[in-house]
Amino acid sequence: MIDPPYDRRLKPSEVASLIADVDGVIAGTEPYSAETLAQAKRLKVICRVGIGLDSVDLQYCQENGIVVTFTPDEPSQAVAELTLANILNLARHIHESDASVRLGAWNRFVGSLLCELKIGILGVGRIGTKVVKLLEPFSPQILAYDSDPSVFGRPLPNVTWVPEDELIAQSDLISIHVPLTRATYHLFDRARLSRMKTGAMLINTSRGSVIDEVALLDALRQNHLRGAALDVYEHEPYSGTLAKLPNVVLSAHIGASARQTRFEMELAAAQDCVRFFSGEHVRSPAPMETPAELAGRQSR
């Protein structure tokens, strides 16, 4: 195991250098492309701290016998709580009020109670389910959709299960909780954003590439959407034009950045690594796409 000498997200060349002579990696969100992994002749396991695997070339790992593990349960509560914070922030214009006070403007924005809103939860897995339960005391009407037939229709408080198109068209606020796959890449493109209600709000704490950021920028500039809150971006660190809009809340991929959560994720990844080298069973994600589908997504 190695301790990276940088206090930031690693670049591909830095990852390649650091993993060139190791047997296992406890990995963050740094990129593990095929070109990078090809430099690691001894590598046997990548233990990902967190749930997202879009930064790892799973096809290369599968073809070269590199086991990939992840910690899908540990970050769920922290991401769900950040989502709730963003819902409350957008509903009550907290970020805009803060900015007005700092400028001496004293703008008293009128927001909405959550019970007034139809909140769409797109993706009701580990995190989406926790968001629904955190919202229960506020009694909003929740519209939910999940592409997994084993999930769609489960009884949850205040939830009405609807088709995806209906959720997009009727929700006052949509929170996205889907993995990044070929099917969800730019899921919220110009067409889907245009089908959202005028004045609706959008939250993304899943993966940045689920949203077409250029199309989102236009929807906000044209006042079709009232606001957005993003914790993830197509390219991180983010430095784009959305940062100039007053009705956008931006955070630096802090969904899992809570003390207890970080401890639990890092411990779980380390335990996976120990188990692997001890010959025990480890948590490896079921393939979500075929190698051909993964290659198609990674080329986009």
**pLDDT classification of 134: cutoffs 50, 70, 90:** very high
Architecture of domain 12-72+257-298: 3-Layer(aba) Sandwich (3.40)
If you average pLDDT over every residue of the chain, what do you get? 92
Residues 5-10 have a mean pLDDT of: 70
Task: Compute the distance between CA of residue 135 and CA of residue 142 in angstroms, rounded to an integer.
Answer: 9
Architecture of domain 76-250: 3-Layer(aba) Sandwich (3.40)
pLDDT confidence of residue 286:
56
The lowest-confidence range among 11-25, 108-122, 207-221 is: 11-25
pLDDT digits (tens, 9 = 90+) for 184-237: 999 999 999 999 999 999 999 999 999 999 999 999 999 999 999 999 999 989
Closest to 247 (Cα-Cα) out of 81, 80, 99: 99
Amino acid at 53: L
**pLDDT classification of 300: cutoffs 50, 70, 90:** very low
pLDDT confidence of residue 4:
58
**Catalytic residue at 236?**
yes
Please give the sequence-ordered ranges of beta strands (E in DSSP) within the chain, or none if there are none. Answer: 24-27, 45-48, 67-69, 118-122, 141-145, 159-161, 173-176, 200-204, 225-230, 248-250
Catalytic residue among 253, 264, 275, 293: 253
pLDDT digits (tens, 9 = 90+) for 265-282: 999 999 999 999 999 988
Q: Over 60: is that where the pLDDT of 292 sits?
A: no
Same fold, 12-72+257-298 and 76-250: yes
Residue 163 contacts by C-beta under 8 Å, 6 or more apart in sequence?
145
289 vs 109, higher pLDDT: 109
pLDDT confidence of residue 3:
58
CA distances from 46 to 11, 29, 210 (A): 17, 12, 24
Catalytic residue among 63, 116, 136, 236: 236
**Catalytic residue at 186?**
no
Q: Over 70: is that where the pLDDT of 58 sits?
A: yes
Q: Over 80: is that where the pLDDT of 65 sits?
A: yes
pLDDT confidence of residue 54:
86
Q: Where are the domains of the chain?
A: 12-72+257-298, 76-250
Catalytic residue among 74, 207, 213, 264: 207
CA atoms within 13 A on the CB side of 126: 15
